[in-house]
Amino acid sequence: MSGVAIGSVNMAVAQEDDTIKVGILHSLSGTMAISESTLKDEMLMLIEEQNEKGGLLGKKLEPVVMDPASDWSLYAEQARDMLTGDDKVDVIFGNWTSASRKAVLPVVEEENGLLFYPVQYEGEESSENIFYTGAAPNQQAIPAVDYLRSQGVERWALLGTDYVYPRTTNKILEAYLKEHGVADEDIMVNYTPFGFSNWQSIVSDVADFGSQGKKTAVVSTINGDANVPFYTELSNQGISASDIPVVAFSVGEQELSGIDTGPLVGHMAAWNYFMSVDSDANYDFIDNWVEFTDDETAVTNDPMEAHYIGFNMWLEAVREAGTADVDAVKDSIIGVTVPNLSGGSSAMMPNHHITKPVMIGEIQDDGQFSVVWETSGNVAGDAWSDYLPESQNLISDWRAPLRCGKLNVESMTCEDGAGDE
C-alpha cells in the first residue's frame, strides 16, 4: 500500500462491516500542507460530530486518512488503495490542486468511487464520479474581474503557479477581458513553479507594468506556500493595495495566518465564504472548530465550508438512498439542498456543481477579510466556460436518461472525452 492509514484519531476504528468508511485524501506534508492539513482535521471533526449524533444508517463513520505528500502520482495511488484495499472506502473527500484531482479522476471513474472536491478550479471538466463543491470560474474568477473592472482597473497582471488550474483559468480570463475590449498589451501573464520563493524580479516587473498610466491589478492564482514570499516581496517593494491591488483565488484565512498582514491591508480575495461572515451557522461552526482544535486562534476558510457542504450533501443523499452504495448516491444527491455557512443554502446541480454566493473580501490587519461586495443570491457553477469557443456550447447533465458530462446543446449529442480537457 502506497500510503498508511492514520488511525490515531479519537474514534473507534472498527474493522467489521458495521462502519461506513470515509476516505480523507489531503496532503499533510510538502508544499500543499499549508492548505490541506486543515481540511483533514476538519473532516475528522465532521465525522466525530456525526458519530456523536448516532452515525449514518445506524452505523458509525470510520475515517481512513492518507498523506499523498503533495505528490500528484501519490494521490492516484492512494485513491486506488482507498477504493480497492483492505480499508475500502465508500466516499473520498480530498485533493486541493487541479493537478492532483486530474490524477485521481481516472481512478475514481475506473473503480466507480465518489470524490468530493472542495477547492475552486478551472472548469472544463465533468465526471460522473466527482462532485465539485468549490467554485467554478463563473463563481469566482469572472465575478472578481467584473468587480475590478467596476473599480476602474484597465491593466491586468495574471500571476499563477505553473499547472492546469492557473493556466486554464487565465485562458478563460484572457478571452473574457479581450471580449470586453482589453488590448493584448494590457495583459501580463506569468507562471512560477510550486514552492517558488524568489519573487524580486517578477514583482519588479509588475511594478513597471503598473506604472504606465492605467490602473493595474494583479489576479493571483498562486497556490500553496509560495504565497508567503510573494506577499512579503510586495511589501518589500512598497506596493500597496492603493497602488496595485491583488485579488487572490487561492489565499484565505489559513494562508494569511503565517503572514504579517499589516502591509497587505486592502488586497483582496474572491471566495464564496469568509470566516467574517455574519450568520448563526457560521458562528456555531467557528465555535466547534475552535473547540475541536483546542486553539482559540484557529481560523476557518472557504474550502472548509465546501467540505462542510459536501459532507452534509453526501449524508443526506445516503439517507435518501438508504444505502452508501455509489450508484444509488450518485442518483439521490442531485437536487439535495443543505445549509451553507453564510446563512443560506446550497443545492447540488445536475452538472455535479453546487450553487454558491460570490464574495470579494479585503484583507484586514488582523488577518481576516472584510466583505466589500457579494452577489445578491446564489450562482450556479458552470462545468464548461461560455468564453472558450471549444466549450461554449457544452453543458453537463448527469441525470437519467442523459447522463452526459459533455453535451453539445446545438447538436444535442454527447461528445466523448468529458473530464480529459
CATH classification at residue 236: 3.40.50.2300
Least confident of 4-18, 57-71, 191-205, 370-384: 4-18
Q: 193 CB contacts (<8 Å, ≥6 apart)?
A: 161, 162
For residue 378, pLDDT beyond 60: yes
Q: DSSP assignment of 22-51, as one string?
A: EEEE--SSSTTHHHHHHHHHHHHHHHHHHH
Q: Which three cell numbers stand for residue 285?
A: 461552526
The amino acid that residue 420 corresponds to is D
**Element (H or E) spanning 204, and its range?**
helix 200-209
Strand partners, 66: 25
CA 61 to chain centroid: 24
Residue range 22-29: mean pLDDT, rounded: 98
Q: Let me know whether 45 and 103 are in one domain.
A: yes
The mean pLDDT of 74-79, rounded to a whole number, is 98
Please name the residues in contact with 52: beta carbons below 8 A apart, sequence gap of 6 or more: none
Shared-domain flag, residues 282 and 272:
no
State the virtual CA torsion across 173, 246, 267, 286 in degrees, nearest 10: 50
Number of domains in the chain: 2
* 351 part of a folded domain: yes
Q: What is the pLDDT of residue 255?
A: 83
- Regarding whether 272 and 149 lie in a shared domain, the answer is yes
Pick the range with the lowest mean pLDDT from 16-20, 127-131, 168-172.
Answer: 16-20
Looking at residue 70, what is its pLDDT? Answer: 97
Place of cell 463563481: 139
pLDDT in tens, 335-360: 999 999 999 999 999 999 999 999 99
Q: How far apart are CA 201 and CA 255, in angstroms?
A: 23
- Report CA 230 to chain centroid distance, whole Å: 21
Range of the domain at 335: 19-135+278-357
Would you say 308 and 50 are in contact if contact means Cβ atoms under 8 Å apart?
A: no
Domain check: are 174 and 320 in the same one? no
Tell me what the pLDDT averaged over the chain comes to.
93
Q: Do residue 236 and residue 282 come from a single domain?
A: no
322 occurs within a structural domain: yes
Question: Residues 83, 108: one domain?
Answer: yes
- The residues pairing with 130 across neighbouring beta strands, listed in sequence order, are 115
The CA distance from 117 to 229, in Å, is 27
Residue 125 in domain: yes
| Amino acid letter, 295 | D
Residues 324, 282, single domain; the answer is: yes
Same domain, 256 and 366: yes
Overall size of the chain counted in residues = 421
Whether residues 129 and 167 share a domain: the answer is: no
As a whole number of angstroms, the distance between CA 414 and CA 195 comes to 40
**Do 207 and 85 share a structural domain?**
no
In terms of DSSP H, where are the helices of 322-395?
Answer: 326-333
pLDDT for the residue numbered 15: 40
Q: Which amino acid is at 337?
A: T
Q: Is residue 11 part of a domain?
A: no
